[in-house]
Amino acid sequence: MCIVARHAAIYREGRVITNARTARAVRSKSRFGRAAEFGAWAYHEFATLALLHAAGVDVPRPVRAASNAILIEFVGQGDEPAPQLRNVRLSPAEAERLLEQALRSIGIMLSCNVVHGDLSAYNMLCSGGRLCVIDLPQAVDARTNRHAKSLLVRDVANVCGYFAAQGAYANPDTFAEELWDRYLRAKL
């Protein structure tokens, strides 16, 4: 779970630490504060995975959370872990089908008020002809994070860019704008 420090504030926006002592420790970056902040990232990822899995998004099923790690279901076939999408070469027909699946997942995530915030071929796995979205500690709440729309636009552009390079037709600007508009009008 590696969040680039200069971007962490963008992803944290809208998250609240209710315990005053913990909030003060996080702000002062004390040893306890750093541990509490790391635990908050892990818990946030676990809670986000649970929400999205229940909503039908293609994410690993979360199993258990601890203060410094989360356990998720194995994604792969047999003993072989699923490769990152960036390491998979697709036919144009496969790319079209998986692009649809990826955009569907992005739409369901947004209907749950979640924007991945760093979605790309690096944090999607491909196994058995299906995608699985991973790496969600930085996911933001679209209701409380003012950067949510720009993060959504970037996620869609990254995903469409990958699939376009594999031969699929993708129009990221139109899709992201229409999706955000539908979100704002509660039409997802």
Predicted local confidence at residue 9, as pLDDT:
61
Predicted local confidence at residue 177, as pLDDT:
96
- The residues with which 125 forms a beta bridge, in sequence order, are 84, 132
How many Cα atoms sit within 13 Å of 1 on the Cβ side? 20
How high is the mean pLDDT of the chain?
87
As annotated, the active-site residues are 118, 135
Predicted local confidence at residue 31, as pLDDT:
76
Residues 6+ apart with CB under 8 A from 169: 96
What DSSP character marks residue 80? E
- Answer for the pair 94, 126: CB distance below 8 angstroms, yes or no: no
Nearest to 124 by CA among 111, 133, 116, 135: 133
User: What is the total count of domains within the chain?
Assistant: 1
Range of the domain at 84: 5-184
Once rounded to an integer, what is the mean pLDDT over residues 25-39? 62
Residue 3 has pLDDT above 80, yes or no: no
Share of the chain above pLDDT 90, in %: 71
Residues 6+ apart with CB under 8 A from 62: 46, 49, 50, 53, 70, 71, 72, 73
Q: Please report which confidence band the pLDDT of residue 1 belongs to, taking 50, 70 and 90 as the band edges.
A: very low
Q: CATH code at 154?
A: 1.10.510.10
Once rounded to an integer, what is the mean pLDDT over residues 4-29? 60
For 102-146, the pLDDT digits (tens) are 999 999 999 999 999 999 999 999 999 999 999 998 999 999 999
